[in-house]
Each structure stands twice: as C-alpha cells, then as structure tokens.
Amino acid sequence: MGSEDVKVVSFWVSPFGKRVEWALKLKGIEYEYIEEDIFNKSNLLLRLNPVHKKVPVLVHHHKPIVESFIILEYIDETWKQYPLLPHHPHQRALARFWATSVEQKLGKAGWVAMATSGDEQERAVKEATEIMEKIEDEIKGKEFFGGKNVGYLDIALGWIAHLIPVWEEVGSIQILDPSKFPAITSWMTNFLSHPVIQDTLPPRDKMLVYYHNRKNNWPSAFRNSVKD
C-alpha cells in the first residue's frame, strides 16, 4: 500500500480522529499523521474543512474527506481488505443506527456529566446510564460488536472504552458500573487489548490533565461548542 498518498489531520485526543486511524491501521493502510491545534486552527484545516472547520480530515490523493463516519465508509469502500461494515444490509443499517444514536445521545450526556456538577450533572449521568443499558443489550454474548473481530461499530463506539473512564475520574462520577454492565465491561477489555487500539491510545495521565482543564473552563466560551 506504499503508493497510496494518505494523510490524516487530527488532534491527539480526538475520539473522532481515532476512528480514522483505527480503520486505516486495521486495513493495513499507511498514512501520514498531521497534528492540528483545534484551539488555533491552521490554514490547512480551514482549507480542507471549510464547512465544519473540524478534525479529523482524511486526505487521499490530495482529496479531503471529512466527518468521521463518512470517512469510515470511504475507507471501507476504497480498501476492501478487512471489511468494517457487516455484509448484510440490515446489519449494516443497524450498525449505522447505533453509531449515530450513541454519538448523539451519549456524546453530549457523557461530556456534560464530566464537566458540570449538581443537578445538571446528576441528570446527565442518568441519561448516559440509560443509553448504556441499551448498549449492554446490544453487546451481550459477543466479543465485539463486529462479532469475532473489531468492526465498524466497535470503531464508532470505541471512545466509550477509553474516554468514559477518564471522564468518570475527572467528573467524580460513575456511568459504567461493571456489575450493572458486565457485557460492556468485557467488551472494553477486549477492545482495549487489541494491538491496533493499544498502539494509538493517548497516555491516560495526559488525557486526565487535558479534561481537567476542559472541565475547569466550563462554562465558558466552549459551553455551546463541545469540541470533543
């Protein structure tokens, strides 16, 4: 795959960016990684993603593709080895449904649970826990959402495995009680022990410092613009 010109513009802790790196690595595609400062955006990012001005951006043969779920589909269609989405259309539809539903519901609730306190935090923890119950039912009895291998939905939800525990520590909250969510807990262990995932995770202590800072700056100019 050495002749492919593939670049990933991302931010070290971006859960969206990790998806792109995981997908490329699972397929054995080499890429150049370009670190972006999302607090002081480069002209490169503004040129590559003028609509959302966000990372990640995949650049394949000088053509940018943005939005992590769209990038995952592009990667899966472009490089056929190690298919990410399930084969059957209904299974594919379900994988997309869970990916986007969890993103919309848990992304916001988890972030607010970490960053706030009092009633607002309590409501957010409750909301996040309710979504976890649905995810628990989905993963029960399986090693990965993709079956025996890490697939599209594992990549889409992978941030739960490494970010939620950090958010729990920063927010002094519990969303993932292992006794309540044994199937998610064992999926997290399986996912985090996969060599590709291990290879790309940011150091936990650096993440803790970063999210403590984000929490301390909340509410602030960022209140209406959750960055990750």
Pick from 6, 9, 23, 55 the residue near ligand GSH by CB under 6 A: 55
Pick from 8, 24, 38, 150 the residue near ligand GSH by CB under 6 A: 38
Of the pair 45, 125, the CB lying nearest ligand GSH is at 45
57: contact with ligand GSH by CB under 6 A:
no
Of the pair 51, 141, the CB lying nearest ligand GSH is at 51
Least distance in Å: CB of 204 to ligand GSH? 17
DSSP secondary structure string, the chain?
Answer: -TT--EEEEE-TT-HHHHHHHHHHHHTT---EEEE--TTS--HHHHHH-TTT--S-EEEETTEEEESHHHHHHHHHHH--SS--S-SSHHHHHHHHHHHHHHHHHHHHHHHHHHH--HHHHHHHHHHHHHHHHHHHHHHTT-SBTTBTS--HHHHHHHHHHHHHHHHHHHHT--S--TTT-HHHHHHHHHHHTSHHHHHHPPPHHHHHHHHHHHHHT-SSTTTT----
Stretch that binds ligand GSH, among 53-61, 89-97, 119-127, 134-142 (CB under 6 A): 53-61
111: contact with ligand GSH by CB under 6 A:
no
Stretch that binds ligand GSH, among 22-30, 50-58, 79-87, 171-179 (CB under 6 A): 50-58
Task: Write b or e for each residue in 95-130: b if 16 or more Cβ atoms lie within 10 A of its Cβ, otherwise e.
Answer: bbebbeebbeebbebbbbbbbbeeeebeebbebbbe
7: contact with ligand GSH by CB under 6 A:
no
Pick from 29, 42, 44, 67 the residue near ligand GSH by CB under 6 A: 67
Pick from 11, 31, 79, 167 the residue near ligand GSH by CB under 6 A: 11
Pick from 6, 9, 16, 18 the residue near ligand GSH by CB under 6 A: 16
Which tokens go with 118? 């009092």
Pick from 54, 60, 162, 194 the residue near ligand GSH by CB under 6 A: 54
223: contact with ligand GSH by CB under 6 A:
no
Stretch that binds ligand GSH, among 65-73, 85-93, 132-140, 157-165 (CB under 6 A): 65-73
Q: How many residues sit in the footprint of ligand GSH (CB under 6 A)?
A: 14
Give strand pairing partners of 64. 59
- Chain residues that interact with ligand GSH, rule: CB under 6 A: 11, 14, 16, 38, 53-56, 67-69, 225, 227-228
